[in-house]
Amino acid sequence: MKRTVDDTGVSNTHSKPVFLTSSARTISPSTPPREIEHQKKRQQLLHSQIRPSNSDSNKSLSNSDRRDQRDRDREPRWREKLRERERDWERERERSSRRNRECEREEEAKAREQSRLDKLAEREREKELDAIKEQYLGSKKPKKRLHK
Protein backbone atom coordinates (compact mmCIF):
# COMPACT_ATOMS: atom_id res chain seq x y z
CA MET A 1 0.00 0.00 0.00
CA LYS A 2 1.34 3.44 -0.89
CA ARG A 3 1.44 6.15 1.72
CA THR A 4 0.38 9.66 1.01
CA VAL A 5 1.92 12.76 2.50
CA ASP A 6 -0.96 12.99 4.97
CA ASP A 7 -0.35 9.42 6.19
CA THR A 8 3.33 9.95 6.86
CA GLY A 9 2.89 13.30 8.56
CA VAL A 10 5.78 14.79 6.57
CA SER A 11 5.16 17.91 4.59
CA ASN A 12 6.58 18.45 1.14
CA THR A 13 7.97 21.95 1.75
CA HIS A 14 11.55 20.79 1.17
CA SER A 15 11.14 19.30 -2.27
CA LYS A 16 14.76 19.45 -3.49
CA PRO A 17 18.09 20.45 -1.96
CA VAL A 18 19.57 23.74 -3.05
CA PHE A 19 23.18 23.69 -4.21
CA LEU A 20 25.15 26.89 -3.82
CA THR A 21 28.08 28.01 -5.93
CA SER A 22 31.39 28.71 -4.25
CA SER A 23 30.79 32.45 -4.49
CA ALA A 24 27.34 32.08 -2.95
CA ARG A 25 28.83 30.01 -0.12
CA THR A 26 31.36 32.72 0.69
CA ILE A 27 28.56 35.24 1.09
CA SER A 28 26.94 34.71 4.44
CA PRO A 29 23.44 35.98 5.28
CA SER A 30 24.95 38.46 7.70
CA THR A 31 27.13 40.09 5.00
CA PRO A 32 25.95 43.61 4.17
CA PRO A 33 24.75 44.22 0.58
CA ARG A 34 27.60 46.65 -0.17
CA GLU A 35 30.18 44.02 0.62
CA ILE A 36 28.32 41.51 -1.55
CA GLU A 37 28.43 43.90 -4.49
CA HIS A 38 32.12 44.54 -3.86
CA GLN A 39 32.86 40.79 -3.89
CA LYS A 40 30.90 40.31 -7.13
CA LYS A 41 32.82 43.15 -8.82
CA ARG A 42 36.11 41.66 -7.69
CA GLN A 43 35.16 38.27 -9.15
CA GLN A 44 34.08 39.87 -12.44
CA LEU A 45 37.42 41.68 -12.65
CA LEU A 46 39.30 38.46 -12.07
CA HIS A 47 37.25 36.66 -14.74
CA SER A 48 37.67 39.47 -17.23
CA GLN A 49 41.45 39.44 -16.69
CA ILE A 50 41.62 35.71 -17.33
CA ARG A 51 39.24 35.62 -20.29
CA PRO A 52 40.95 38.11 -22.66
CA SER A 53 44.11 36.04 -22.90
CA ASN A 54 42.06 32.94 -23.74
CA SER A 55 39.65 34.75 -26.06
CA ASP A 56 42.50 36.38 -28.02
CA SER A 57 44.05 33.04 -28.77
CA ASN A 58 40.65 31.49 -29.53
CA LYS A 59 39.63 34.33 -31.86
CA SER A 60 42.65 33.70 -34.04
CA LEU A 61 41.62 30.06 -34.44
CA SER A 62 38.70 29.05 -36.60
CA ASN A 63 36.19 26.45 -35.47
CA SER A 64 37.88 23.65 -37.41
CA ASP A 65 41.27 24.66 -35.95
CA ARG A 66 39.78 24.57 -32.47
CA ARG A 67 38.40 21.09 -33.14
CA ASP A 68 41.77 19.96 -34.49
CA GLN A 69 43.55 21.32 -31.44
CA ARG A 70 41.02 19.67 -29.11
CA ASP A 71 41.49 16.40 -30.97
CA ARG A 72 45.25 16.69 -30.69
CA ASP A 73 44.89 17.37 -26.99
CA ARG A 74 42.57 14.42 -26.55
CA GLU A 75 44.46 11.99 -28.77
CA PRO A 76 47.47 11.40 -26.50
CA ARG A 77 45.17 10.89 -23.52
CA TRP A 78 43.00 8.53 -25.55
CA ARG A 79 45.99 6.60 -26.81
CA GLU A 80 47.50 6.47 -23.33
CA LYS A 81 44.23 5.14 -21.90
CA LEU A 82 44.05 2.56 -24.66
CA ARG A 83 47.65 1.47 -24.04
CA GLU A 84 46.97 1.26 -20.32
CA ARG A 85 43.88 -0.89 -20.94
CA GLU A 86 45.86 -3.15 -23.27
CA ARG A 87 48.60 -3.49 -20.65
CA ASP A 88 45.99 -4.36 -18.04
CA TRP A 89 44.41 -6.94 -20.34
CA GLU A 90 47.83 -8.44 -21.11
CA ARG A 91 48.69 -8.62 -17.40
CA GLU A 92 45.37 -10.28 -16.67
CA ARG A 93 45.92 -12.79 -19.50
CA GLU A 94 49.38 -13.59 -18.12
CA ARG A 95 47.97 -14.01 -14.62
CA SER A 96 45.19 -16.29 -15.83
CA SER A 97 47.59 -18.37 -17.95
CA ARG A 98 49.95 -18.65 -14.94
CA ARG A 99 47.02 -19.73 -12.78
CA ASN A 100 45.98 -22.28 -15.41
CA ARG A 101 49.51 -23.68 -15.64
CA GLU A 102 49.76 -23.90 -11.86
CA CYS A 103 46.39 -25.69 -11.69
CA GLU A 104 47.48 -28.12 -14.41
CA ARG A 105 50.74 -28.82 -12.58
CA GLU A 106 48.87 -29.42 -9.34
CA GLU A 107 46.43 -31.76 -11.10
CA GLU A 108 49.31 -33.66 -12.73
CA ALA A 109 51.08 -33.96 -9.39
CA LYS A 110 47.88 -35.24 -7.77
CA ALA A 111 47.39 -37.75 -10.60
CA ARG A 112 51.01 -38.99 -10.26
CA GLU A 113 50.62 -39.33 -6.51
CA GLN A 114 47.34 -41.19 -6.93
CA SER A 115 48.84 -43.59 -9.48
CA ARG A 116 51.82 -44.18 -7.17
CA LEU A 117 49.47 -44.96 -4.28
CA ASP A 118 47.40 -47.26 -6.52
CA LYS A 119 50.54 -49.18 -7.54
CA LEU A 120 51.60 -49.55 -3.93
CA ALA A 121 48.15 -50.82 -2.99
CA GLU A 122 48.22 -53.30 -5.89
CA ARG A 123 51.64 -54.64 -4.81
CA GLU A 124 50.37 -55.05 -1.25
CA ARG A 125 47.32 -56.98 -2.51
CA GLU A 126 49.55 -59.23 -4.65
CA LYS A 127 51.82 -59.95 -1.67
CA GLU A 128 48.79 -60.79 0.46
CA LEU A 129 47.44 -63.11 -2.26
CA ASP A 130 50.83 -64.81 -2.60
CA ALA A 131 50.96 -65.31 1.16
CA ILE A 132 47.45 -66.82 1.17
CA LYS A 133 48.29 -69.14 -1.76
CA GLU A 134 51.48 -70.26 -0.05
CA GLN A 135 49.58 -70.95 3.14
CA TYR A 136 46.92 -73.09 1.43
CA LEU A 137 48.91 -74.67 -1.37
CA GLY A 138 52.19 -74.99 0.39
CA SER A 139 55.54 -73.52 -0.42
CA LYS A 140 56.85 -73.52 -3.92
CA LYS A 141 58.71 -76.66 -4.77
CA PRO A 142 62.20 -76.07 -6.08
CA LYS A 143 62.83 -77.19 -9.64
CA LYS A 144 64.96 -80.19 -10.11
CA ARG A 145 68.41 -79.36 -11.38
CA LEU A 146 70.28 -81.56 -13.71
CA HIS A 147 74.00 -81.87 -13.26
CA LYS A 148 75.99 -82.45 -16.35
Following DSSP, what letter does each residue of the chain receive, concatenated? -PPPHHHHT---S--S--PPPHHHHHS-TTS-HHHHHHHHHHHHHHHHHHHHHHHHHHHHS-HHHHHHHHHHHHHHHHHHHHHHHHHHHHHHHHHHHHHHHHHHHHHHHHHHHHHHHHHHHHHHHHHHHHHHHHHHH-SPPPPP----
Domain assignment present for 124: yes
Lowest pLDDT segment from 93-102, 103-112, 137-146: 137-146
Domain assignment present for 36: no
Domain assignment present for 42: no
Above 80 in pLDDT, residue 123? yes
Above 80 in pLDDT, residue 124? yes
Please name which of 82, 54, 86 lies closest in space to residue 69, comparing C-alpha atoms.
54
Q: Write down the pLDDT at residue 80.
A: 86
Domain assignment present for 68: yes
Above 90 in pLDDT, residue 116? yes
Which residues form the domain of 78?
62-137
Domain assignment present for 52: no
The radius of gyration computed from the CA coordinates of the chain, to the nearest angstrom, equals 44
Q: What is the mean pLDDT of residues 62-83?
A: 74
Domain assignment present for 16: no
> 89 falls in which pLDDT band (50, 70, 90)?
very high
Q: What is the mean pLDDT of the chain?
A: 78
Residue 132's φ and ψ, nearest 5 degrees, are -65, -45
Chain centroid to Cα 13, Å, comes to: 43
Domain assignment present for 89: yes
User: What domain count does the chain have?
Assistant: 1
